[in-house]
Homo-oligomer: A and B are copies of this chain.
Amino acid sequence: MILNDMLDSIREAEKIAIVTHVSPDGDGIGCVTALYKAMNKLRKDVSIFIDDDIPEIYRFVPYTDKITKPFDISVDLLIAVDCADSDRMGKAKELLRKVPKSINIDHHISNTLYATMNYVDTNAASSSEIVYQLIKILGIDLDQEIAECLYVGVVTDTGHFMYGSTTSFTHEVAGDLINNGASVDKISNIIFHNIKYEKLKLIGRVIDNMELYFGGKVAYMEISKEDFLKTNTKLEDVENIINYGRDIDSVEIAIMLVEKDDFVKGSLRSKKYVDVNKLAKEFGGGGHVRASGFLVKGSINDVKEKILDLIKSEVDE
C-alpha cells in the first residue's frame, strides 16, 4: 500500500529534500513550508528547494526564508508536492535521479507519476489538503505555523472556497486550521485585499478600454506597451485581470491580448460551453477547456481581428 510505504520512508529517512514547482503559488508554498515544520518536528534534517523566486505576496508565510534554489545535495528522500510532472520542478528535477526514494504528492489529474511512490488524489481541491492528511496520519500535532501554511494553500487553490472543487472536506480542513491558529482576517487581508495602486490603475485602464462583441458574449481587452508605461506596471501585473471580463453576466469568452516586444501574449477564458483550448491551438498555444493562452509574433490588431473571426462561429450558435 502506497500510503504505508510513504509513511515508512518518511520515518526511516534522516535527510529529506522538499520541492515544489516553478512559478510557485500559494498551494505549493503552503505545502513545502508546512512539511518543513512537520519534518522538523520529526527531527529530520530538512531542506526546501524551489527553482524560482518566491512572490512578494507569499513571503509572510512561515519558513519561506528557508527556501533555497536547487543545489547539489545528497538526501535519503525527496518529497515533491503539487508538481504534475517532473519538469515543473525546474532544476530541482535533477534531485529525482540522485535520490534512492521519492514521494510525489499531488492533486492534478495530469500527474505523470514520476516518483518511486506516487500519492495523487485528484478529488483533493488542493495539495495542501493531502499534506494536511499526511501530517495527521504521521501523528504530528498541528501548530499555528503549520495551520497558517496550509490555510494559505487551501484558500489560494480553491479561489477562497469558490471553485467547484471545494468539498465539505475542504471546509473541514479549513475549520481545523482556524482552530489551530490560522488567522482568517490576517491571511485574507494579505493575499486578497492587498493590491498595488499601479496595478489598480492598470485594471481601471483595461476596463475603460474593454469592448464587448457578439451581443455581449465576448469581452475583449488589451494592454499595450503604452498602457504599461502610463501606469508604471509590468507583465506580471496582468495576472487575473482577464477575470473582470469573464465575470460580466452576458459574457461567455473573455480575451486578453498583451503587447510584449514583437509578440502578442493572448489569454482566453470561457464560462460554460466554448473550448478555448481549441482556439488557443490555432495560435500555437493551448491549456484547458475554460482557460488557455498563446504567444504569437505580430501586432495586437492583427491577432484581435483573427481571433474575433475565429470566435464568431463559436458564439453565434
Give the B-binding residues of A (Cβ under 8 A). 159-164, 166-172, 174-176, 178-179, 183-185, 188-189, 192-197, 200-201, 203-208, 210, 212, 216, 243-244, 246-250, 271
Contacts and interface: CB of A to CB of B under 8 A. Distances in A.
B160 A167 contact: no
Contacts of A196: 248-249
Contacts of A188: 159, 162-163
A248 B201 CA distance: 11
Given A166-B184, A197-B249, A203-B204, 20 more contacts: A159-B188, A162-B184, A162-B188, A162-B192, A162-B193, A164-B183, A166-B178, A167-B178, A168-B176, A169-B175, A171-B175, A172-B172, A172-B175, A175-B175, A196-B248, A200-B210, A200-B244, A201-B208, A205-B208, A207-B207
A247 to B, nearest CB: 4
A183 B163 CA distance: 10
Nearest to A203: B207
A174 B193 contact: no
Contacts of A197: 212, 216, 248-250
Nearest to A206: B204
A128 B164 CA distance: 22
Contacts of A189: 271
Q: Secondary structure of the A side of the interface?
A: helix
Contacts of A166: 178, 184
Contacts of A160: 160-162
Nearest to A190: B249
Nearest to A219: B197
23 contacts: A161-B161, A161-B184, A162-B193, A163-B184, A164-B184, A166-B178, A167-B175, A168-B174, A168-B176, A168-B178, A170-B175, A171-B171, A193-B246, A193-B247, A194-B247, A197-B216, A200-B207, A200-B210, A201-B208, A204-B205, A204-B207, A205-B208, A208-B208
